[in-house]
Each structure stands twice: as C-alpha cells, then as structure tokens.
Amino acid sequence: MRPLRRGLSASRIRLLLLWAVPEQHQSPAERWAERGFSSTQGLQDGPGESSSEDQVTVHFINRDGERLTTTAKEGQSLLEVVVNHNLAIDGFGACEGTLACSTCHLIFDKEAFQKLDAISDEELDMLDLAYGLTDTSRLGCQVCVKKSMDGLTVRVPMDVSDMRKQLEVGKQSKQ
C-alpha cells in the first residue's frame, strides 16, 4: 500500500477508502447486531463448538486495568476472540478486521511479541496511526491464536485512534 499511496493525493486516498465502504444509514452497532458483527466465518462460529483440547487461554488487560480472561480456538484472530466472547473493550475492532482502523491495537510483552508471525506493510501503516504505539504493538485482527500462546496476556492501550473518524472530521470541515 505504501507505493500506491505515494502516487495518490490525499483526496484520492479518501475517495478510495470511501468507495470501499458501503453507505448505510444504520449505526455500526445496528449493522453488527443484524449481521452477527461480520461476514467472516470465524466471527460467526458459536461458542462451545470445539473441544476443550482445542482451547487456548488468553488474558486481556483493559484500559481501566481490568483483567478479562477467556478461551480461544487456534486460528482465531485476537479480534475474533474479543468479539465472539463479548469482552467489554470499548470501541475494539471498529473496522471488523479490514485494516482500516487501529482500534484493535494491542501491546504484547517482549517474549510473546518475538514469537508472533511477521508483520505486513499494511499493518505497519495502520500501527503508525495508533496512539500509545510501542515496540511490541500489533493489531489484534492480524494476530492469530496458536497453541503455544496458551496463557498469553496482552494489554489494550489507554487511548484509541480510529482513522475512519479522522476522515469524517476532514470531510465535515470542508463542507
């Protein structure tokens, strides 16, 4: 995406981003409730559909310091884990894992971070927009659970940045 963006003006980037998002008159919460949050298979799987042998325990430290503990299936993204278990993390995963925001920004400890798969350029671009960025930051929509992650603890940063809101503010100020 970096080479593509270099050749585009800011207005063309907005046009591309707005073109990719269907216009709807419902709030995100209404759309999520209507469609079960996402059209991806992983987010529609019901709880309890796999054996306890396939489960991995994951801990999230919320913005207020509350520890949220849940189980995940191997292969699920950390965003899917939060959504499927209705964890109370305000505004988490607003773009539904499409790499259009940084609201699923998570901070890992160094040891766990070093074991994660390689980070893509697209994820790096979105992380550049995240508040509270650290050397061990990743987007939860891009990190898939593995058996070796059992007992993983990740921290939700204090602040959240949603690129989509910045685009809306820019559009309103031009009107």
Can you name the residues that pair with 67 across neighbouring β-strands?
61
CATH topology of domain 55-165: Ubiquitin-like (UB roll) (3.10.20)
What are the CA-CA distances from residue 26 to residues 32, 72, 174 (Å)?
10, 30, 24
By DSSP bridging, strand 67-73 and strand 55-61 are antiparallel
CB 62 within 8 A of CB 123: no
Q: Where are the domains of the chain?
A: 55-165
In sequence order, what DSSP letters do the residues of 140-170 get, joined into one string? GGG-B--GGGTTEEEE--SS---HHHHHHHH
- pLDDT tens-digit profile of 77-97? 999 999 999 999 988 988 999
31-74 pLDDT, tens digit per residue, is 334 434 333 344 444 444 556 678 999 999 999 999 999 999 99
Question: Is the pLDDT at 129 greater than 60, yes or no?
Answer: yes
CB-based contact 138:152 (threshold 8 Å): no
Q: Which of 169, 159, 119, 172 is nearest to 142 (CA)?
A: 119
CA gap 75, 141 in Å, rounded: 11
